[in-house]
Chains A and B, each alone.
Chain A
Amino acid sequence: MTHVLTIRDLNVEFIDRGKVTNRPVRGIDLNVSAGEILGLVGETGCGKSLTGLAALGILPRGARRTGKVTMGGDPLQPSSEPDSPAAIVFQNPGTAFNPVFTLGRQLSDVLSRHRQISRSDSKSEVLRHLGLVGLPDPERVFLSYPHQLSGGMLQRAMIAMALLRQPRLLILDEPTTALDVTVARQILVLIDELRHEFGFGVLLISHNLGIIRDVCDRVAVLYAGRVIETGTVDAVMNNPRHPYTRGLLGALPAGRSHGERLSAIPGSVPGNLLSITGCAFMNRCPHAVIDCSFTDPFLTRNGSDQAVACIKEDEL
């Protein structure tokens, strides 16, 4: 399988007046293959959204990116470029569209920037894509303003907008967090169908382990700007090796009976990652030993479908 996205040693640093003040993404390696959904999971502040955006060259003010991001060997163009092979869908569909233009107008604009196309072809192409994402009445949606549609419909329209660019990579940043569970499920089903149909790779960023488990093929677990465990969803979810992954899964109330204590991870995510030497999870880890404070663990492959960044992995 070809990789549609390859990230090597991605770092994001915040710089204030010449000094590096924080490094929220610290050396991330990722691959996304064509037709595959890779889940990027982690808690608030672990750097998952920043990783997705930085991969596309979208950086907040004062941030700098180092590392290599390629698509099939070519350096990845920022998604703002018309011929970028990557598209992104954000969390809140209610604010992602301009409220004063119709959806048809906004989608047509994206299409005309992306392709040389006549006005009548443009409209039929937009309508076709609105149909593709399962919107029941494309003609009506075309003429609607954003406030006239529900959150679920808007998120479908967002996905249609992304598809218009014929992406080889789709980055979804918490695509269903703002939606109700039943609607969220429909959106996930849609994404699952579309990637089979069009063969694009998907980087799905989510804090929700359940969603990752439901739709992803592989998963990368982020902690403090690092991938600390990665592998197939089956392997990672059913046989987590890193203490943090175990902690996350143990913290879920699903399947726990009444009165049983959840295995909460003590403490909280470190705020500034500049001063970290050794393992960033050490302070919260039940298995930490002295060595953890010196040794910066790197991802080590265990078998073919799982890699873990923990020096005590063998003993756990």
Chain B
Amino acid sequence: MTNVLSLEKIVKTFPHHKRVFTAVDDVSLRIKEGTVYGLVGESGSGKSTLARCAMQLMRPTSGRTIFEGDDLGKLTPRALRNVRSRMGMVLQNPVASLNPRMTIGASVAEPLRAHTTLKGQALQSKIEDLLDEVGLGAGHAHRLPHQLSGGQCQRVGIARALATSPRLLILDEPTSALDVSVQAQILNLLQDLQQQKGLTYLLISHDLDVVRYLSDEVAVMKSGKIVESGAAERIFTDPQHDYTRTLLEAAPGHKASPAVGSHTLSAPNTQGSN
């Protein structure tokens, strides 16, 4: 299997009160074609920054991003725009990631107009196909985002990300703004799409259960570094790093923790994070 996306020694720093804050600190990872790579960590661990570096929405301070053979850092802005038709991104807040004044149909049409020559009826039927693919009726095309539920908006977000038939989707906390029942619908949809189309996902989430459910490989991030990575089952059943163990123990509803409240809960040992 070939690597769809390779990040090599990515560093991203921000100026912060006259000092330098290192959000991503020398991270390398490789994502194989047709697999799901999960990136877990708490807020401020740098996982979202890393995803934005992978998309070149932020230029990494140093390091290389190789996507399907192209070194994204060396591309002209125009070439980079074209590369972006081969990668899709689904963002955390489904309602906010749609322009409130654009109809659903216009939002889905946007990447198609930018990267394809589809027009008129052909464009319309493509939009309907895409909405259908994510389980929305064509009637939704004329609605505005606030007329849809969060779950429906996230379906639109997925339809839009799939519009240009990318091979890689970057999913940034795709279900964390959703209720569990809706989360299950979206997770099922993401899994179906991945299996039907052989897509590659980079899944970013703080929810260990979601990551475990979807991912083949997992990396755990803390303070800008990957502290542990490997096959998903191995990470969750046999964590090697202390921080991974801490995270697993703290996860709500985790099997290892005492079930009912009348017993004493174990508090994880996390000096410095509080």
A interface vs B, CB < 8 Å? 37, 43-44, 150, 152-153, 180-186, 188-189, 192-193, 207-211, 213-217, 232-234, 247-248, 250-256, 258-259, 261-266, 268
Q: Are A208 and B274 in contact (CB under 8 A)?
A: no
Q: Are B185 and A215 in contact (CB under 8 A)?
A: no
Q: Are B267 and A216 in contact (CB under 8 A)?
A: no
Q: Are B274 and A186 in contact (CB under 8 A)?
A: yes
With both beta carbons as reference points, the residue of chain A lying nearest to B210 in the complex is identified as: A253
Q: How far is the CA of A250 from the CA of B246 in the complex (A)?
A: 26
Q: Is B139 an interface residue (CB 8 A)?
A: no
Give the contacts of B209-260 with A (CB-CB under 8 A).
Answer: 209-210, 212-214, 216, 232, 246-247, 249-255, 257-260
Q: Are B213 and A256 in contact (CB under 8 A)?
A: yes
Tell me whether A233 and B180 are in contact in the complex, defined as CB-CB below 8 angstroms, given that A182-B273, A186-B274, A254-B209 are known contacts: no
13 of the cross-chain contacts (CB-CB < 8 Å) are A43-B181, A181-B42, A184-B250, A216-B260, A234-B259, A247-B181, A248-B181, A251-B184, A253-B209, A253-B210, A264-B182, A268-B151, A268-B182
Q: Are B188 and A264 in contact (CB under 8 A)?
A: yes
Interface centre among A184, A264, A266 (most CB of B within 10 A): A264
Interface centre among B150, B191, B266 (most CB of A within 10 A): B191
Q: Are B255 and A150 in contact (CB under 8 A)?
A: no
Q: How far is the CA of A217 from the CA of B259 in the complex (A)?
A: 10
Q: Are A210 and B184 in contact (CB under 8 A)?
A: no
Q: Are A209 and B267 in contact (CB under 8 A)?
A: no
The contact of B213 among A208, A247, A253, A266, by CB within 8 Å, is A253
With both beta carbons as reference points, the residue of chain B lying nearest to A207 in the complex is identified as: B179
Chain B: number of interface residues, binned into ranges: 35 or more
What are the residues of chain A within 8 A of B210 when measuring CB–CB? 253
Tell me whether A214 and B259 are in contact in the complex, defined as CB-CB below 8 angstroms, given that A180-B43, A182-B270, A251-B184 are known contacts: yes
Q: Is B187 an interface residue (CB 8 A)?
A: yes
Q: Are B273 and A253 in contact (CB under 8 A)?
A: no
Q: Is B206 an interface residue (CB 8 A)?
A: yes
Q: Are A209 and B180 in contact (CB under 8 A)?
A: yes
Q: Are B261 and A210 in contact (CB under 8 A)?
A: no
Contacts A258-B213, A258-B232 aside, 10 further interface pairs with beta carbons under 8 A come to A180-B42, A182-B270, A214-B253, A248-B180, A252-B184, A252-B253, A254-B213, A262-B187, A262-B188, A262-B213
What are the residues of chain A within 8 A of B185 when measuring CB–CB? 264, 266
What are the residues of chain B within 8 A of A259 when measuring CB–CB? 191, 195
Q: How far is the CA of A182 from the CA of B222 in the complex (A)?
A: 12
Min CB distance B207 to A, Å, is: 8
Q: How far is the CA of A232 from the CA of B191 in the complex (A)?
A: 34
Number of CB contacts from chain A to chain B under 8 A: 140
Give the contacts of B187-209 with A (CB-CB under 8 A).
Answer: 187-188, 191, 195, 206, 208-209
Q: Are B213 and A43 in contact (CB under 8 A)?
A: no
Min CB distance A218 to B, Å, is: 10
7 nearest CB pairs, A to B: A210-B253, A210-B252, A251-B184, A253-B213, A264-B184, A262-B184, A43-B179
The contact of A213 among B151, B250, B252, B266, by CB within 8 Å, is B252
What are the residues of chain B within 8 A of A234 when measuring CB–CB? 259-260
The contact of A37 among B249, B261, B270, by CB within 8 Å, is B261
Min CB distance B110 to A, Å, is: 26
What are the residues of chain A within 8 A of B62 when measuring CB–CB? none
Min CB distance A248 to B, Å, is: 6
Q: Are B259 and A181 in contact (CB under 8 A)?
A: no
Q: Are A268 and B255 in contact (CB under 8 A)?
A: no
Tell me whether A185 and B250 are in contact in the complex, defined as CB-CB below 8 angstroms, given that A43-B179, A213-B259, A233-B260 are known contacts: yes
What are the residues of chain B within 8 A of A255 when measuring CB–CB? 209, 255
The contact of B247 among A153, A182, A193, A248, by CB within 8 Å, is A182
Q: Is B265 an interface residue (CB 8 A)?
A: yes
Q: How far is the CA of A150 from the CA of B273 in the complex (A)?
A: 9
Q: Is B137 an interface residue (CB 8 A)?
A: no
